[in-house]
Structure 1
Amino acid sequence: MRSDGGALRPAEGGAAMTVVYIDSVFALNALADYLLVYAAAQLAGARLRRGRFLLAALLGGAYAAAVFLPGLGWLSLPPVKLSAGVLMALAAFGGEPRFLRLTLLLFAAACGFAGCVLALGLAAGQRVPMENGVFYTNVDARVLVISAAAAYLVLTVVFRAAARRRGCGGLLVPVTVAFQGRSAALTALCDTGNALRDPVTGRPVLVAAAERLNALWPPELAAELTPEALRAPSAVMERLAERSGARLRLLPYSAVGVESGLLLAVRLDWASVNGQRRERLLLALSPTPVGDGCDALWGGPEE
């Protein structure tokens, strides 16, 4: 171990020594790990808990640095690497409804990032220093930043574009809904089987669990738009019919294994679905939860 923060490792063939700077290893890998967990969360539409992402990145950086410490070479063994990745996933996504999906996306993002770094390093005519899958010492900062940006674009833009082409089925996406100066954040499941459409505009209707929308309603509506009250949507509609600000309508629906019925729907000021702002979107209120791990169902894209 060097006193200036570096560690010595024998190069292949034992002819020379490789200088590894622990602080550089920690910083580079922590940065890469933060981008990885952020990209995985974006892909899955999970909440962006940046504090937890930072904790996961610090754990990843600490693990990468520990690999080079004397007597800790066993940390680079595949089972230990796998365990370290799962620990990072727990730090970043523990408690999320789709933890397994997020963990798999994290590992996929790691593979994509490593491939981008190696490819761009070769294209630039530079050797990217790596040992046991860990970046170390004199990685060119430009190569690292460009590689990180390329990996992020591939994982978030290309994959999401492919998801939109197939109707984004199965993805969880972030949603924000706004009504009379109030807003609420939701997580919506892109459900290609949701064919509910606005009878006026023909656009998809966002269906959300009423219990997740308490913060959206002004006081005069909050007591009326409860899950219990919405089990009788026609009665709610009748009570609120004279309140012009409510902008309500009844939507007929049918589902497999469920009798047809009506849902009370509200015309929003606007909604943001996966980053796309939609003016005056219709929000249908479900008196029961709409699914496991999500607050709402989205049947987009629009025709």
Structure 2
Amino acid sequence: MTAFTVYLDQVFLGNMVMNYIILWAAAKISRVPVGKTRLAAGAALGAGYAVVALLPGCSLLLTIGFKTAASIIITAATFFPVPLRKFITCLGCFYLTSFVLGGLVFGVIFFFHAGVITSLSGVGVIINQHLWTGILLGLAAFWAAVKGFNALQKKGLLENIFKIPVLIRTDSKQVKVDALLDTGNQLEDPMTGHPVIVVEYSLLKPLLPMRLHPFFEADGDADIWEILSSLSGCGAASRFSAIPFQSLGKTKGLLLGYRPDEILLEQHGRKPCAVKAVLAIYRKSLFPGGSCQALLGPNLLDPAS
């Protein structure tokens, strides 16, 4: 059997770099704000696991069960605390970016190898020879792909693919907004359990009671509990509730939830479909230029919604 040397410091450093990029990309895709310290901690945890798994007598750590447990622990260490559904999204994004980046690295490694591979032991030798070439060029290709995607998104070239018109009706009034499909929107109304669509106040204003307008048109964030108190005695009070959310810099935020009579999604080439959802009223503009005025999650596209 052909033997080759494994340098544990290179294994740790290579895995540290790869894991950091994987976790960073997973955070971007899942739209969960994570600081650099948490990303570095998760990356170091994964790199430490990779080193220990290569030590004599630790081959059990390379089984599927341990790999799955390690990925769950790494993801939890990086993204906790998040709701269970959001955590599952983060874990899925972690696996997705791992496979994509891993495939790029191995593709580059074997692309630079000239010759025929005659044995399985030769695979290890090839990887050892071109490891850093594969990592650096793989990361460069991954970075270029992400930057290219962002550039297309900024120019609005991808917008129509993910834009869904939404028709909202209350009593005899209706408004139509353009919603962007947002994989990071996993909000649920705590009262009904229905998915939440985040909508700009300016578009919903014609449907809302007049007494709510000053709260959203004043400077500063509106006090949700004060708004709900002001609705006491109003016939539309039962339509409103508080919806908790978290974002960068705010872990215990509240949005005002609103339940209209009907919400219709107008998907491309299909008949408008009624969905059970709650609207979260957002005071500011969601997108520069007003190209979209709402955010909806992928769970609303499920026929069972």
Contact kept? 1:233, 1:263, Cα under 8 Å: no
> Is the 2:75–2:91 contact (alpha carbons within 8 Å) kept by the matching residues of 1?
yes
Query: Structure 2 vs 1, CA of residues 66 and 131 (structure 1 numbering), >3 Å: closer, same or farther?
Result: farther
Does residue 115 of structure 1 match 2:103?
A: yes
State whether structure 2 residue 295 is matched by structure 1 residue 298: yes
Distance (whole Å) between structure 2 residues aligned to residue 34 and residue 130 of structure 1:
29
Structure 2 residue aligned with 1:149, among 132, 140, 156? 140
Residue number in structure 1 paired with 2:183: 171
How far apart are 1:57 and its partner, in Å?
Answer: 0.5
Structure 2 distance, partners of 1:95, 1:77, is 28
Structure 1 segment 234-273 matched on structure 2, within 5 A: 254-256=261-263, 266=283, 268=284, 271=285, 273=287
- Residues of 2 paired with 1:158 and 1:253: CA distance? 35
> For the Cα contact (< 8 Å) 1:25–1:65, is it kept in 2?
yes
Counterpart AA for 2:140: A
Alignment of 1:83 onto 2:69: yes
State the Cα deviation string for residues 46-97 of structure 1 (Å, max 9, x = none): 1123222211101100011112211112211121111111111111122212
CA contact (8 A) 1:39 1:156 kept: no
Identity %: 16
Contact 2:42–2:74 (CA under 8 A) maintained in structure 1: yes
Question: Pairwise mapping of residues 1-303 of structure 1 onto structure 2 (< 5 A)?
Answer: 14-15=1-2, 17-97=3-83, 98-125=86-113, 139-154=130-145, 158=149, 165-167=161-163, 168-172=180-184, 191=197, 198=203, 217-218=219-220, 226-229=227-230, 254-256=261-263, 266=283, 268=284, 271=285, 273=287, 277-278=288-289, 298=295
Aligned position for 1:10: none
Cα distance, 1:140 vs structure 2: 4.5
Note the C-alpha offset of 1:41: 1.0
Instruction: Please tell me whether the aligned partners of residues 182 and 295 of structure 2 are also in contact (alpha carbons under 8 angstroms).
Output: no
Give the alignment's TM-score, normalised by structure 2: 0.54
Report the residue type matching 1:255 in the other structure. Answer: E
Alpha carbons of structure 1 residues 224 and 30: separation in structure 2 relative to 1, 3 Å: closer
Cα offset, 1:146, TM superposition: 2.5
Q: Which runs of 5+ in 1 are unaligned?
A: 1-13, 174-188, 201-209, 235-250, 283-296
Offset at residue 103 of structure 1 (A): 0.4
- Aligned CA-pair RMSD: 5.1
Q: What secondary structure does 1:18 align onto?
A: coil
CA distance in 2, matches of 1:264, 1:109: 33
Gaps of 5+ in 2: 164-179, 186-194, 206-211, 237-257, 264-273, 298-305
> Aligned in 2, Cα 1:144/1:166: closer, same or farther, shift over 3 Å?
same
Q: Alpha carbons of 1:163 and 1:59: their partners in 2 closer, same or farther (altered >3 Å)?
A: farther
Residues 109 and 130, structure 2, Cα contact 8 Å, conserved in 1: no
Deviation, 1:223, is 9.4
Q: Secondary structure at the match of 1:298?
A: strand
Q: Which structure has the highest helix share of the two?
A: 2
Matched to 2:107, the amino acid is: A
Aligned-partner Cα distance in 1 for 2:22–2:280: 40
Contact between 1:117 and 1:147, CA under 8 Å: does it hold in 2?
Answer: yes
Partner letter of residue 105 of structure 2?
V
Tell me: CA distance 1:57–1:25, structure 2 relative to 1, closer, same or farther (3 Å).
Answer: same
Please give the per-residue CA displacement for 1:164-221, whole angstroms capped at 9, x wherever unaligned. Answer: 6132424226xxxxxxxxxxxxxxx9959x6987499xxxxxxxxx9xx99x9549x7
CA–CA separation in structure 1 for the residues paired with 2:75 and 2:31: 15
Paired residues of 1:163 and 1:169 also in contact (CA < 8 A): no
Q: Per-residue deviation at 1:27? A: 0.8
1:100 and 1:24, CA in 2 relative to 1: closer, same or farther beyond 3 A? same
TM-aligned CA distance change 1:52 to 1:166, over 3 Å: same
Q: 2:227 & 2:47 partners in 1: Cα distance?
A: 47
Structure 1 length-normalised TM? 0.54
